[in-house]
Amino acid sequence: MATQKHSDKRDAIIRLLQSTKEHPDADWVYFNMRKEFPNISLGTVYRNLKQLSDNGTILRLETGSGTEHFDAFTHDHSHFVCTACNRIIDVDAELESIDRRAEEQVGGRIDFHRMFFYGRCKSCNNV
């Protein structure tokens, strides 16, 4: 794989994503990046998000909403997606038993999984 050149914009995107527990989409990243780089293009943001997710620096989350979201926290965790407000919340529940059961069924080894839980978040559930 070719080595990527250092990029101040790519570094700033990583810092921006690390600064939030939300799981923003590319438009949010673009809007916030313009504060530091007023002339940045949406295409540059998309290209850098793709490179960062392709190399595993960030996670690209496809929740079924048609919009990709991004997460700078790449440790093994799942996500909850609110079906009312579309908020994405990290879930750090221990899911090793699911991995073991899947390994038994496929007769192989599970290296990682991506799991989404869907429902209504606390705020939407109380409405």
**pLDDT of 119 higher than 80:** yes
**pLDDT of 111 higher than 90:** no
Tell me the pLDDT band of 31, cut-offs 50, 70 and 90.
very high
Q: How many CB atoms lie within 10 A of CB 26?
A: 19
Amino acid in the structure at residue 30: Y
> What pLDDT is recorded for position 62?
93
> What pLDDT is recorded for position 4?
65
Amino acid in the structure at residue 40: I
At 59-109, the pLDDT tens digits run: 999 998 899 999 999 988 899 999 999 999 999 877 778 888 899 999 998
Which residues make Cβ contacts (< 8 Å) with residue 123, sequence separation at least 6?
85, 87
Residue count (the chain)? 127
Q: In terms of Cα–Cα distance, which of 127, 121, 114, 125 is closest to 88?
A: 121
Structural domains of the chain, with CATH: 8-71 (1.10.10.10), 78-125 (3.30.1490.190)
Tell me the three state secondary structure of residue 124.
helix
Q: In terms of Cα–Cα distance, which of 88, 84, 70 is closest to 28?
A: 70
Q: In terms of Cα–Cα distance, which of 112, 74, 87, 113 is closest to 25?
A: 87
pTM attached to this predicted model: 0.83
At 10-22, the pLDDT tens digits run: 999 999 999 999 9
